[in-house]
């Protein structure tokens, strides 16, 4: 698809420094962009890369230095958001399956399918399942008995939605994820660990999105709850009876232990680990690789292991880095003391 720079400037409400009639065909990174592409840059540390880019146009923030790019420049308030709109205008959307049930799919007679539903090749829709209007269950996905999925959901290939799990509207679950597997619960027994029955379920709110290979365990009793607009990255483990509040973002490889409650609007960075039975307050931010072992108050930034307020963690790190110098000084002092003792003895 081809657009002029003038059309793109109008689309995103930006200010163009360049030829408005210049045509472009695609989007790319600074390093990979060619003479028909649009690229974007957010921070000035990429100024040299921007100057060297072969892109036809660079989308930059309003305060970008004049003359810092060799291409036409489109100034906008939010380059990330503007670039998303430009990409949608220039790039064809991914192919989407047509409504209907594939001949190799298995759909139980008691399942209720809404209007314009898609059930892909070799997918399974179990007894008593409800699929909302325009929902897609793609190839090889399994929706187990008595699960309920709302309107406009997208269940990608290889996903398993277990029994009695409930999804709201416009929920996206990416390939390989499992929602509603048993929580990890055992009691010590004479013959080995004895399984604790996991009899609850999982509820996922409207507009939530789960990345690839996410696992959300069903509750022991009651509900494991993922709130509306929660965004979960790939390879995240959510244990039984966890609750995650609206619009919280969870980055890849995070693990949340059982019965922890995470508030609204939190940000949890990659590979963080959160212990069980904790309360993470609204708006808290947890740094990458943090190990959270106690409650986090609302609006608090924590980092490190065990996680502490971020500024405190930075002070700890600074002190540790100074220890090498302190040890060297201590060694020199001990050497001088040893020499003085030797001189006294002689």
Active-site amino acid positions? 240
Asked if 110 and 122 touch (Cβ cutoff 8 Å), the reply is: no
Q: Which two tokens stand for residue 33?
A: 């962009």
Instruction: HSE, CB side, 13 Å, CA atoms: give it for residue 263.
Output: 16
SS3 23: strand
Instruction: HSE, CB side, 13 Å, CA atoms: give it for residue 300.
Output: 19
What HEC string does 104-157 produce?
A: CCEECCCCEECCCCEECCCCEECCCCEECCCCEECCCCEECCCCEECCCCEECC
Asked if 172 and 189 touch (Cβ cutoff 8 Å), the reply is: no
CA atoms of 305 and 267, how far apart (whole Å)? 17
């Amino acid at each position: 698809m081809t657009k002029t720079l003038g059309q793109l400037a109008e689309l995103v409400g930006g200010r163009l420094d360049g030829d408005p009639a210049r045509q472009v065909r695609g989007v790319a990174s600074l390093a990979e962009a060619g003479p028909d592409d649009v690229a974007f840059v957010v921070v000035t540390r990429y100024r040299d890369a921007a100057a060297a880019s072969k892109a036809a146009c660079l989308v930059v923030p309003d305060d970008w230095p004049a003359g810092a790019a060799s291409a036409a420049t489109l100034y906008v308030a939010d380059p990330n958001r503007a670039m998303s709109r430009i990409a949608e205008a220039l790039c064809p959307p991914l192919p989407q399956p047509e409504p209907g049930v594939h001949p190799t799919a298995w759909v139980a007679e008691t399942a209720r399918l809404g209007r314009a539903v898609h059930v892909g090749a070799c997918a399974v829709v179990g007894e008593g399942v409800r699929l909302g209007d325009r929902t897609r269950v793609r190839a090889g996905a399994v929706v187990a008995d008595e699960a309920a999925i709302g309107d406009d959901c997208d269940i990608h290939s290889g996903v398993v939605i277990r029994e009695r799990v409930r999804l709201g509207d416009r929920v996206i679950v990416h390939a390989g994820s499992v929602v509603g597997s048993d929580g990890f619960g055992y009691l010590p027994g004479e013959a080995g660990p004895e399984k604790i029955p996991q009899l609850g379920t999982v509820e996922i709110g409207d507009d939530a999105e789960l990345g690839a290979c996410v696992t959300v365990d069903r509750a022991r009793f009651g509900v494991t709850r993922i709130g509306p607009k929660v965004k979960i990255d790939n390879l995240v483990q959510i244990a039984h009876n966890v609750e995650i509040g609206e619009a919280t973002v969870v980055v890849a490889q995070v693990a949340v232990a059982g019965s922890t409650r995470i508030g609204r609007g939190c940000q949890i960075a990659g590979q963080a680990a959160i212990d069980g039975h904790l309360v993470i307050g609204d708006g808290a931010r947890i740094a990458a690789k943090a190990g959270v072992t106690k409650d986090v108050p609302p609006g608090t930034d924590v980092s490190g292991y065990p996680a502490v307020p971020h500024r405190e963690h930075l002070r700890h790190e600074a002190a540790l880095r100074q220890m090498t110098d302190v040890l060297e000084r201590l060694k020199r002092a001990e050497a001088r003391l040893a020499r003085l003792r030797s001189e006294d003895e002689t």
